[in-house]
Structure 1
Amino acid sequence: MAPTIAVATAQLQSHRQPPTAAVDEEVLRRRNEELERELKRSLEREEKMKQELQRTWERLRVAEEAEERLCSQLGELEAEAVDQARAYRARLLGLMDQLSAAQKVLQSSSASLPNSQ
C-alpha cells in the first residue's frame, strides 16, 4: 500500500503546485507585458528625441551658415567703409588745400590794394 499512497500524495501535491505555478506564470506574464509596454514607450521617446536632435542639428547648421554669410557681408561693408573714409579724407584734404590757397590769394590781394581809408 505504500506505493499507492506515494502516488496519491504526489498527485495531490502536483494539483496544488499548478495553481501556484499558474499564478506565478500570470504574474510573470503581466510583468513581461508591462515591461514590453515600457520598452515600447522608451523606444518611442528615444525616436522622438533623435528627431528633435536632428531638427536642432539642422537649425544649428543653418544658423552657422547664416553667421558665415553675415561675417562675410560685414567684412565687405567694413572694406567699403574704409574706402569711403579714405576718399572722404582725400577730398577733405583737397578742399582744405584749395581754401588755403584762396585765403593766400585774398591776403595777398588785400595787402596789395591801397588803403582807401
Structure 2
Amino acid sequence: MEELKTKNMELIRELTKSLQREENMKTELQRLNQRLRVAEDAEERLCSQLGELEAETVEQANQYRTHLLALMEQLETAHKFIESGCANG
C-alpha cells in the first residue's frame, strides 16, 4: 500500500511538472505569436515604404530625363547658332 502511495505521489509530481511545462510552452508560444505579428506589421510598413520610394524614384528619373532633353535641345540650338555664325563670318 505504501508503495502505491509513493508511486502515486511520483505520478502526481510528474503530472504537475508536465502541466507546468505545458503552461510555459503556451506562454512562449503566445510571446512568439506576438513577435510574429509585430514582424508582419513591420514587413507591411516596409513594403509600403518601398513602393512609395520606387514611385518617387520613377518620378525623379522622369523629371531628370525631361531636364536632360531640354538641355540637349538648348545645346543643339546653341550649336546651330554657333555654326551659323561661323558660316557667316
Give, in whole Å, the separation in 2 of the partners of 1:72 and 1:83: 17
Q: Choose 1 or 2 for highest CA Rg.
A: 1
Q: Calculate the TM-score normalised by the size of structure 2.
A: 0.99
**Aligned AA (1:68):** E
Alignment-derived partner of residue 90 in structure 1: 66
Runs of 4+ residues deviating >4 angstroms = none
- Output aligned runs, 1:1-117, within 5 Å: 25-113=1-89
Query: How much has 1:80 moved relative to structure 2?
Result: 0.3
Where in structure 2 are there 5+ consecutive unaligned residues?
none
Give, in whole Å, the separation in 2 of the partners of 1:54 and 1:46: 12
Alignment-derived partner of residue 17 in structure 1: none
Identity of aligned residues (%): 62
Question: What's the CA shift string for 1:62-87, capped at 9, x where partnerless?
Answer: 00000000000000000000000000
Q: Calculate the TM-score normalised by the size of structure 1.
A: 0.76
RMSD: 0.3
Aligned length: 89
